[in-house]
Structures are given as C-alpha cells and as structure tokens.
Amino acid sequence: MWKGWIRALVAAVALAGLMAPAHAAAQEEGAAGVPQPSAEGAWTLNVALSDDPEEQLANVRGAQPPPGVRRGGQPPEGSTPFDPVRRAVEGFEMTFTDSTITILYPDRELELHTDGRGQKVQLDEERTIEYRSWWEEGRLYVERSLDGGIRLTERYTVQEGTGRLHVLTRLEGDRLPRTIAFMRVYDRS
C-alpha cells in the first residue's frame, strides 16, 4: 500500500531543483557551469520506472469510491475525474517559445501560455477544461481543473544525471480522502 507513495515521495525529493526551463533560455548554466537539460523534444514512457496510477486509485477507492461509482465497481471510461490519470500517455512531444508550451499528444495538440494565467481548452463539443501553466524554480507546472472540484497538477522535471523526464502528477480536492501522487518517467525518443 505504501510502496507507491514512498517511491513517489523519494523520487520527488530526489528531483527537487533538477530541471531548467525548456525554452530557448533553458540552456542557462547551472551552479557548476554545466548547461541544464531541456524538456523540449519527443518523449516515450518508461513503464518499468513509472508508478502505476491504478495502485494509487485503488487505495483511494478502498477509502471512498470515486464520484458516480458504487463501492467495489469500476467506473466506465469518461465518467469520472480520474480518467485523465488512468490514461498513461505513452509518448508526446514538447516545444517552447518564450511565452507558450505546445504539447503534441498522439491524439491532440495542446498549446498553453506559461505565465500562469488561466485559459479554457475545448476538449470536445461538451467539455471544456481550464488550464494554467507556469515555470517555478526551473520546473514546468501544468494544472487543470477537473469535474467535482478536483485539481490535477503535473510537474515536469528533467533529471540532470539521466536526462529522463519525470512527471509528478498530483490529484487534490475536497472530495478526495487524501492527495493522490505518482511519478511517470519518460525517455527521449
């Protein structure tokens, strides 16, 4: 039960301060005069090094079923705020300008402003999600407001030693019994 949480916590602590902004200014030199790695480019999920979000969701379901789900039942796809967490993105490509980030997923493209202002993104004819993204201490944060008052925040950090992209995902909200957090690890494609 605690194995996934401990791995996520250890990974989060180990990654603190390791990513520089990935736009053109991202190649600023670090404390030792070495250029910091950039998150720009194509990435592929490393399943072996990544946490399984289903493990975290199962732990939460044991405490309280997700909205719209009876205890012991699986929610149908597309019906709960947990669906964005379940869908492991196997790969994507990121490009940056001074004020935006574009993430090209296999099934869609997302362009976000990186100055922290909110923006609405139309997912389909029926659903719009509010996003916010910003740089903080060399890390990229992307936050979205989901159904049911749940906030999903992703922190993108390139690990200096390996060059791998670590995406720490956190789900928080009043309707959750506790914060859900897990790490996905990506290799350069």
pTM: predicted TM-score of the whole model, two decimal places: 0.70
Which carries the bigger pLDDT value, residue 90 or residue 14?
90
Taking all residues of the chain, what is their mean pLDDT, rounded to a whole number? 74
Residue 86 confidence (pLDDT): 64
Render pLDDT for 147-166 as a digit per residue (tens, 0 to 9): 778 899 999 999 989 999 99
- Output DSSP code: residue 87: S
Could you give the CA distance from residue 78 to residue 43 in angstroms, rounded to a whole number? 25
- Average of per-residue pLDDT across 29-54: 75
**Among 61-65, 68-72, 130-134, 146-150, whose mean pLDDT is lowest?**
68-72
Residue 66 pLDDT exceeds 50: no
Which domains does the chain carry? 3-188 (2.40.128.20)
**Residue 95 phi, psi (nearest 5):** -130, 150
Residue 182 makes CB contacts below 8 A (sequence gap 6+) with 4, 8, 50, 51, 52, 53, 55, 56, 85, 168, 169
Nearest Cα residue to 129 out of 117, 149, 144, 114: 144
